[in-house]
Structure 1
Amino acid sequence: MSASKLQESGEVRLGHSLNKKEEEFVARRKYTVLQCLQKFNIHCSQDKVPNIALLGSGGGQRAMVALLECLVQIDKAGLLDCILYLSGVSGSTWCMASLYKEPNWSTKLECVKDNIIKRLGGPGVSWDDKSAKLKKYYTKDLFSLTDLWAVLFVTSYVKEIDEQTLTDLQDQHSEDPYPIYAVIDKQCKRREEGDPWFEISPHEAGYSLTGAFVDTCDFGSQFENGLKKKKQDEMDMLYLQAMCSSALADGEATWKWIKAISVPEIKSVFDKMDHGKDHTGENASKTTQESVGEDECFQELLNPVNADPSALEQSSKTKLTDFFGGQRQFSQTADKHKKTARCITQRIWGRNYNFLHNMTDESVPAALLQKETRDLIDAGLLINSPYMSMLRKERNIDLFIALDFSDGDPFTTVREAAKTCKKLNIPFPEVNIPSDEGKKPKDFYVFKGQNVPTVIHMPLFNVVNCGDKPGDWRKKYGILKGPYTDEMITEVMGVAGKNISNNIEKLLEQIRAVAEAK
């Protein structure tokens, strides 16, 4: 297919230009940005409006509630309408999904925030609803651990099953920033060739730097040589949040999660799906018989994966058969158990049909063309902030406001972004941080230069809002802590809010500077 050919329904689009609908949205949004700037006596013509992107890093529920409060404080300061794009990875996408459920959420953010916080403090999703949802996921052509992660993990944090799709929501946000969700291609993460950076917007999904996209409604469908050949249902928002936050998708931590959290819950869900038994995850995990069975099952799974894959899968199937109550009971739900065993043994996360399969185009890396499927996982496993999708030349971002909610070194995201951009010859400012601030960061950093975007970097926990021990706060609110209590949510939101309210004048100064420079 020619890269110059206009995209039609059910076709792959090759090219670096923005999707036409995104272009139209951005053009309308720039008028809103212009009006907002004028309120602060920042004057420019509409064709010179600065493009400002707000980035939310990963960080589990900490990132979800912190991003929410940062947006509230930006709104209170009157600056939310300056934001052209809102992009996130991992936990920040949980916040985004909650916001974009509400049409034009930015016009009623305080109310939307209250509803989200009320939901997070509520009872959560029932086992009946989890069972029904997992049963739906098992009917998919391609089932992976991401489906389990969605039902058994993400729901326990976000306290809902959101079955809407991005396509359902694409015409409901004329007053809001344009959202971009970022993930990575697992196979490309491990190799030099290919393009790991994958973005999903309300209109289009695809490889950010390569310039290969399909309509979001067709993402997940089967393609052959650039043409859709079998329609699949569009992923729902619960699955999208799980794919974006699959932090265990690339490492041995997967096994710890499966053993510590999921197997008793999986068994309980299977029981409810197929036998209507009123088991709970708590009761299931407490029985001595299950505890022994679980240990035996996972002794096999924790062995090094260096044997023949089919033999390993068969061995794991045998262990799961014993765990789930013998051959007869296993057979009653055999397809589900086989799929689960295969996903565990082969570490399959985020598997989707590859819309580039068997295309022949020199503009696309060969590594992306060959396999019928690709595995898409948490972008935080590479860079824990969505810089690379937003650095597409066509988006022409003048100012990044990067809110960093990461574990560990609070400067890793911006350093890695700078390092990657240097390697790929993408304009990005030099990142120099005083050595003594690595463990005790300030709350506001600005990186700029000639012919590069300005980057504002704001670590969540810092010496301004956390006193002399921001490291203690990072430990207290580690990524796997949770679900948060009401008190924890309030405390994290309080810290996050101060980062914005304490720095409104500095934000305005940088916005004014990029507007004048443009």
Structure 2
Amino acid sequence: MKENLDRLENLLTNNIIVARPVSCLNVCVSKEKSAKYFKEEGDLELRMKGTYEDTWKTVLESGSVECFYFHYPTYWEPQLNAHLQHCSSNGEQDKQNSSASLTMPLKSLSVGQEVKVILTASEDTNLEVKLRTQTCSEHLDVRLRFDLCGEEKTFLHKRKKVVAAGLKSVFQLEEDLLDHEVPVVAVMATGGGCRAMTSLYGQLSGLKKLGILDCITYISGTSGSTWTMSNLYEDSNWSQKDLERPILEAKRHMVKNKISTFSLEHLIYYQEELRQRAKEGISTSFNDLWAVALENILHDGVNDFKLSDQQQAVNQGQNPLPLYLALNVKENHISTFDFKEWCEFSPYEVGFLKYGAFIHSEDFGSEFFMGRLMKKNLESRICYLEALWSNILAVNLLDVWNKLSSTDESWQKLIRSKIRNIERNHIPPESSTYLGTSWMCPDGKLFQIIRNILTDRPLHHHIHNFLNGFHMHKDYYQESQFSTWKDSRLDQFPNQLTPSEEGICLVDAAYFINTSCPPLLRKERKVDVILSFDYSLDNPFQSIEQTSEYCLEQGIPFPKISLSEEDKKNPRECYLFVDEENNKSPIVLHFPLVNDTFQKFKEPGVERRQTEMAEGTVPLSGYCSPYQLMNFTYTKKDFDKLLKLTDYNIRNSRDFILQALSIAIEWKKCGRKCAQPCDSS
């Protein structure tokens, strides 16, 4: 973070966003008692544009004294506007109204100096206003850096010892690996509702049985896979134990009847829960209803566990560090295709990859201004984040249109070219809700109704914006860190970006790409191997191919995904992808959700008997599959089959996993040039 001295203004910046010094104006107002009137009241409004508070409104009674605070950038030279609507009476039949306004520039007000101003509302009533300014601390509660936080660096130091011991055991090495020889291995789980949750349990169980779970440094997830992660991390030593207990608990909730979730009793409880959150100053939406309903589905009642509580599960490096992913989008009127920003969550921090701005996880949901914590709100229970990461009904219908139309690339290019051509001769409105496809519909009320229907996000999670008040650096667009993640037309317009928004709107990351890769692709994390767990039923390579294409466009190191027609038609259990030419590209092991050799083998190398063949039938495809996205209840048999299948697929791919780890170790030891090329088949 750099400090720039410009006309005595100390700017704090990471070359993407800028924090300016902040001052606080203390305004104390009182009404002098009137000898003439028995009762007097005044409606007072104080307004100061550009401040965190913006406006204060109150009713002042005679003799009362109230104080208000305004936080503002020190060198903005703002002005305070006071307006008093005064009402006096001797009784119901004798009422008089008057008003008075006053504008007070603060340019000449010295720090610490108290100034008294009298505002006359009527002949007998005065408003006394006392003003005093003070400078606020230069300390920022938002971390403006692109490197990893200190807590994560400490975790990595401790986890490296666990990983080194795990690799020594797996490969039966005679000597310990040196620090620089230990690769960073990550599990990347996609979304897929209960199917993803169940499958991830099976895959982690398989890694545990192979002794490879201790070789993992990170686990990232989105949507349904985050449900597995948040459940596991309630146990501070989960990866050091047998996973049978958490799996049985997940199974119990998956097979239970969900009808009571929306019973009258539960609905009354949900209503009271949301009312209480509103009282605490937390913005509520239908997403909060989804959260408490999901809590009932995944648990038996209130679960007080929070994201920051997961620090206990990683403070000694005893488990991999969990990373969760969401998308920040425009609340309405702009599709995810046109604007999206990756937002990552860890037990330590929540932040935006593009801006290099992070806050403590326990402060997520609190109110900030210019990097300072203004109002500390209670940290929400984990269910509210689980709902955020998996708000699968928040799909924007414009995104569906884009997805459907993207099958015809020429038509897509034609549409985009038309938009660009129109915009050359069309000045968009000042509103940030300008829609790039406005040429398609005429203006008018009908268009507004259609647009609202097409862009409504019923389950978005609206929350206080911790980038509130920041300015964009004048050269932000050229910075390499910003360029890595800029991927939309609006990125070139600073007043359209998140620091200009009052709140942030977070949705399931799967509405752009069903992946949780972005946090793992931060160059600061130096991930060497990614185990890609895909839970798609229709296209087991779509997510990994889209991720590869996205990385190619963004200049992010990632191997090319090359597949034969046979692979696409009959996918196997594991694929190894390596970029031999780019020494910064991770090795990727991709695990599609398929039922291949499991049909004939109940264990790796152990064939099924004829009487056991039915157990190898797992109905992954078709509309009648029990594993469809919106199905929240499985039979015991369906749960067990999916669990055993994903466990088996991992253990049956042991040689692939060891090959990838072996290559990574060799590369860490002597560089990629000395390692032998490998065959992705």
Q: 1: distance between equivalents of 2:267 and 2:321?
A: 31
Cα 1:511–1:122 change in 2 (3 A) is: same
User: Post-superposition shift, 1:346?
Assistant: 6.4
1:247 is matched with 392
- Deviation at residue 153 of structure 1 after TM alignment: 4.7
Structure 1: distance between partners of 2:629 and 2:450:
35
Q: Structure 2: how far apart are the matches of 1:199 and 1:115?
A: 27
Give the match for residue 548 of structure 2. Answer: 418
Cα distance, 1:150 vs structure 2 = 1.6
1:150 and 1:239 in contact (8 A); partners too: yes
- Name 2:196's counterpart in structure 1: 63
Is the alpha carbon distance of 1:305 and 1:206 closer, same or farther for their aligned partners in structure 2, counting shifts above 3 Å? farther
CA contact (8 A) 1:223 1:356 kept: yes
Q: In structure 1, what is the equivalent of residue 606 of structure 2?
A: none
Question: Distance between the aligned counterparts of 1:398 and 1:68, measured in 2?
Answer: 23
Which deviations, in whole Å up to 9, do the C-alpha atoms of 1:377-415 show, x marking residues without a partner? 101111111111110000010000011112421111111
For residues 137 and 469 of structure 1, do their structure 2 counterparts lie closer, same or farther at Cα, with a shift above 3 Å needed? Answer: same
Residue equivalent to 1:216: 361
User: 1 or 2, which has the higher strand percentage?
Assistant: 2
8 A Cα contact 1:206 1:212, kept in partner: yes
Match for residue 306 of structure 1 among 448, 466, 478: 448
2:274 — aligned with what?
137
What are the superposed Cα offsets for residues 444-470 of structure 1, whole Å, 9 maximum, x if unpaired?
Answer: 011111311101100012433358998
- Tell me how many residue pairs correspond in the alignment: 439
Aligned residue for 1:67, secondary structure, equals helix
> SS in structure 1 opposite 2:326?
strand
Give the superposition deviation at 1:118: 3.1
527, 531, 553: which one pairs with 1:397? 527
Q: What TM-score results when the alignment is normalised by the length of structure 1?
A: 0.77
Name the counterpart of 1:113: 247
Q: In 2 relative to 1, CA 77–130 (structure 1 residues): closer, same or farther, beyond 3 Å? A: farther
Alignment of 1:28 onto 2:166: no
Alignment partner, residue 172 of structure 2: 41
Tell me the CA shift for residue 439 of structure 1: 4.0
2:649 to 478, 482, 499: 499
Q: How far, CA to CA, are the matches of 2:269 and 2:629 in structure 1? A: 28
Give the superposition deviation at 1:472. Answer: 4.8
Q: 1:345: how far off? A: 6.4
Compared with structure 1, are the counterparts of its residues 185 and 463 closer, same or farther at alpha carbon in structure 2 (3 Å cutoff)?
same
The 1:305–1:484 alpha-carbon spacing in structure 2 relative to 1, beyond 3 Å, is farther
Structure-2 change in CA distance of 1:459 and 1:489 (3 Å): same
2:562 pairs with 1:429: no
Residue 27 of structure 2 corresponds to: none
In the alignment, is residue 388 of structure 1 matched against residue 388 of structure 2? Answer: no
Q: Which residue of 2 aligns with 1:80?
A: 213
Q: Secondary structure of 1:102's partner?
A: coil
- Of structures 1 and 2, the one scoring higher in RCO (CA 8 A, sep 6+) is 1
In structure 1, give the amino acid aligned to 2:663. Answer: A
Q: 1:46 and 1:197, CA in 2 relative to 1: closer, same or farther beyond 3 A?
A: same
The CA deviation at 1:496 is: 0.9
> 1:159, CA displacement in angstroms?
5.2
Structure 2 stretches lacking a partner, 5+ long: 1-10, 20-136, 400-444, 477-481, 483-490, 601-615, 669-681
Structure 1 regions of 5+ residues with no counterpart? 255-302, 314-343
C-alpha distance in 2 between matches for 1:187 and 1:455? 32
How far does the alpha carbon of each residue in 1:97-124 deviate from its partner, in whole angstroms, 9 at most, with x for none? 1111112111122333233323433466
Is contact 1:196-1:207 (8 Å) kept?
A: yes
Distance 2:373 2:511 in 1: 30
Answer yes or no: is 1:169 the counterpart of 2:303: no
CA contact (8 A) 1:195 1:210 kept: no
Aligned to 2:607: none
Instruction: Give the superposition deviation at 1:151.
Output: 2.5
- Give 1:191 shift: 6.3
Pairing 1:234–2:379 present: yes
User: What does residue range 371-382 of structure 1 map to in structure 2 within 5 Å?
Assistant: 371-382=501-512
CA distance in 2, matches of 1:473, 1:371: 43
Distance 1:375 1:112 in 2: 32
In the TM superposition, what whole-angstrom CA distance separates every residue of 1:118-159 from its partner, at most 9, and x where no partner exists? Answer: 343346676545643442233333112211222235633555
State the secondary structure of the residue aligned to 2:359: strand
Give the Cα–Cα distance (whole angstroms) in 1 for the partners of residues 534 and 152 of structure 2. Answer: 26
Measured after TM superposition, the shift of residue 195 of structure 1 is 5.6
Structure 1 CA distance for aligned equivalents of residues 266 and 291 of structure 2: 13
Identity %: 29
Residue identity opposite 2:238 in structure 1: W
Give, in whole Å, the separation in 2 of the partners of 1:158 and 1:466.
Answer: 33
Q: Write out aligned runs for 1:146-225 (5 A).
A: 146-153=287-294, 155-156=296-297, 160-173=301-314, 174=316, 175-187=318-330, 190=335, 196-225=341-370
Report Cα offsets for 1:201-244 as digits up to 9, x if no partner. Answer: 00100112431111111111111111111122222111111111
Distance 1:110 1:68 in 2: 10
TM (normalized to structure 2)? 0.60
Q: RMSD in angstroms over aligned alpha carbons? A: 3.2
Q: How does 1:459-478 map to 2 (within 5 A)?
A: 459-465=592-598, 472-473=620-621, 475=623, 476=625, 477-478=627-628
After TM superposition, the structure 1 stretch with the greater mean CA deviation from structure 2, 145-154 or 222-231, is: 145-154
Contact kept? 2:257, 2:633, Cα under 8 Å? no
